[in-house]
Amino acid sequence: MEHTRVSLHQRLLTYAFSPPSALERDFDLTADGLTDRQVRQMRRSYGANHLGPSGHPTPLQRLCRAFATPFSGILAVLALVSFFTDVYLPADYGRSVSTVLLILIMLLLSGLLRLWQDLRAGRASDALAGIIQATVTVRRDGQLRHLPPEELVVGDRVVLTAGDRVPADLRITDASDLFLSQSLLTGESAILEKNALPLPPDTPATLNQLSNLAFMGTSVLSGQGEGVVLAVGKDTVYGNYHQELQQTRDRFDQGSRSIAWVLIRFMVVLVPVVFAVCALTKGAWMTSLLFAVSVAVGLTPEMLPMVINACLARGSAAMEQKQTLVKTISAMQGFGGMDVLCVDKTGTLTGDQVVLEYYLDVLGNESRQVLEAAYLNSLFHTGVVNPLDRALLACATMPDQGAHLHTLAQTVHKLDELPFDHTRKCVSVLIQDADGRRFLLTKGDVEQVYSRCRFVEHQGERVEIDPTDASGVHLVVDEMQEDGMKVLAVACKPLPDGSCLTPESEAELTLLGYVVFFDAPKPSAAGALARLQQLNVGVKVLTGDQKSVALSVCRRLGLDVAMALTGTELEQLPPEQWSAAAEQCTLFAELTPTQKSRIIRLLQDNGHTVGFLGDGMNDLSAMSAADVGISVDTAAEALREAADVVLLKKDLNVLEQGILEGRKAFANMTKYIRITASSNLGNILSIAAASALLPFLPMTAAQLLLLNVLYDTLCMTLPWDAVDPDTCQRPLTWSGEHLSRFMRFFAPLSSLFDLVTFAFLYFVLCPGLLGGYYPELSGADQLHFALLFHTGWFLESLWSQVLIVHMLRTRHIPFFQSSPARAVWLVTLFGLAVLTALVYTPLAPLLGLAPLPPVYFVFLAGVVAGYLLLTTLAKRWYVRTYGELL
């Protein structure tokens, strides 16, 4: 049952336990409804009937939200500083807008991507709000008016008729055969009768027990009534679902912020150091400032939004082929890091198709009479047809029973019925057969039906029973219920001509027997669960079904259910034990939607990344709470819009394939971020050292920017890279702490070989080509010396940065134990060849580069090979120490 939240719904509870006169007295209401003056006063006091705290966000609010991220802040600050240093302050001949334009393009792409996501999420809210009907009938100033539901206020008198959607939370003041379905809120198919009577003091404060309240979004199935509005908009029970939809899952944003702050911390430390060292040793303050800004740009993976977008597009295309549609970038992080998957039982672990297993008499023998009575009951009652009724009606197609049942149905006709309600837990129909005899046929909960029986019938004999002694019933029923079967009792009673059907008619019945149903586990479910366990994804079953039924299904599928709790049992635990219960239990049964979301949040508080698979509106709360919401294409429209991932087939095998593809996409994103950031940090460390030791800058600002652009361009192939199978066997996390550790470990290795290159260029190659060391040369020769030096380090840095990707893309020995995708390797070789040849083209002088002799490339091959070898050895130590690489 759904426990109401006292803080939001105290007004509902107060008047549910009071007569309608108390409501009319407290709100100064009359039978004619509110006046226009009262409407304005109520709207000021209690708000308007719209969902959400302030309506829909304006376009400006969405735009600001899209660009207000830590990573975008870094790029914006760098663009501003670069504008002053590259465009505003230099003389005309020294101005360059290339850095500013590049940063602004990356900033724009990142913001547009987030804006697109926000617009998609907004449509979910629109779809959810759209279930409320276009107009409602309201009594105001003694007249019936048809108004939009947004015009309702607390105190309005609303008229309800069959087919209506309840537009707000109401206290029923008048009812005539008023039956509602609250499945939208509770997920239960029970049809509830509503009345105007105050509740007894001991009535549980649960949605299905509040028989004089009607809640926003619920459906009027039959009858008519009138109610006074007690809560509107976001203060309604349904409004709380909408509020939870507004809560965005922010694990992806948290990871992005942690990475952004890692980069910011490195910038705060290194950029001032580089600026100070350059300025103090070279004396050129403006040039040093320009170079320091280039260093900051160099530390930032400028093409991160594009690489993420490419990984998402590639991963989405691959997952679509696996019948899985990905809607948001966050879903990649959710799929990559998910280590707990919460699922409902029905339709996911089971076939979502209940079948009639047995029709038994009171001693457990097959009984055609029981089948006939149960079939006619399901055929003639007019309430919502549930899966159990459908299973009984399907008997009309059975080869051995179908013709007989079809003929039987044509010989009798229905006179009256008592619909199912939550209190009685049974449904009765009054029929008349071909001989004019009238029979009451009752079908429902075993305990409830048995308590109304005075006799049992077996092989034509009717025997009086003691209704307080249910041992005979338990002897037949208990074993089947413990095995996960659903059992309904079937009873009958002859009625005299002219009698009316009333609740009192359901007394002194004759128990005929039982109909037994079973929702069998899917044949593929056990294997899929085993494979999810191999992927280190724990499965927890969160269901509203009975505990015994859920236990049976879980046992048949091999799930460990040594500890299982119902929603009521969970509520009875001390709060300090909830976290442990969420961790230890595999099965939670008889849950309300709120309890499902509470369990998910408890798992998150325990450090888990949680996914939730649901398909009903009652799952919206749990889906909003999960790190990644998963739905199916047959789910309600609002739920599909709210989900991050939509499965085209409700099958755990499909989900398993989606998880694998999601981890591959997320792994490739992680490769780019970690390897690029560590390589860039290595360059900056080398620059800081060179700035202190060399009489000139080791590379110009434009060359540093060009190097990053060329490297990032070659990295655009990473979304298509192969991922090691063992990498996909565990959840992946996007952590700033792990990134910082990775950068600190591998960046100094790059700097070590950069220093070797500096020494070779400064003391060997350049003096050998120009006939002297730098201080001994004239001004023109010094410029040529610096030009050769810049070219040598540019090529060494490019080759080492690009090739190190292939060393660090896998924890195994590259090319021998783990090969990259063919396209990635071909693009890498082709790109390096073209960019190396660039120094021998007419474009080289424009870029500040010059041709180098063949001897340099012998050195380059040796230093790059040494760097790759040392990195491979260091990688093995890193994996042994920390247990992971990416």
**Which residues are catalytic, by number?**
344
Pair type for strands 324-326 and 426-432: unpaired
DSSP assignment string, 744-790 = HHHHHHHHHHHHHHHHHIIIIIHHHHHTS-GGGS-HHHHHHHHHHHH
| Cα–Cα distance measured from residue 213 to residue 835, given in angstroms and rounded to the nearest whole number | 74
Count CA atoms within 13 Å of residue 414 on its CB side: 16
Map residue 297 onto helix, strand or coil: helix
Q: What phi-psi label fits residue 815: left (phi over 0), alpha (psi between -120 and 50 degrees) or beta?
A: left
- CA distances in angstroms from 588 to 189, 277, 341, 562, 581, listed in the order given: 19, 63, 13, 12, 10
Count the neighbouring beta carbons within 10 Å of the beta carbon of residue 63.
16
| Cα–Cα distance measured from residue 33 to residue 488, given in angstroms and rounded to the nearest whole number | 45
Dihedral sign (CA 191, 234, 145, 211): positive
Q: And the tokens for 224?
A: 């008519």
Kindly calculate the radius of gyration of the chain based on its CA atoms and give it in whole angstroms: 36
| Cα–Cα distance measured from residue 192 to residue 357, given in angstroms and rounded to the nearest whole number | 28
Count CA atoms within 13 Å of residue 696 on its CB side: 18
Helix axis angle for 736-760 and 854-882, nearest 10°, is: 150
Count CA atoms within 13 Å of residue 128 on its CB side: 36
Q: Indicate the burial class of 834 (C-beta count within 10 angstroms; 0-12, 13-18, 19 or more).
A: exposed
The 8-class DSSP code of residue 199 comes to P
Map residue 574 onto helix, strand or coil: coil
> Does residue 703 contact residue 802 with C-beta atoms inside 8 Å?
no
Q: And the tokens for 336?
A: 């990559």
| Cα–Cα distance measured from residue 471 to residue 344, given in angstroms and rounded to the nearest whole number | 33
Count CA atoms within 13 Å of residue 491 on its CB side: 26
Nearest-10 Cα torsion for 742, 743, 748, 753? 90
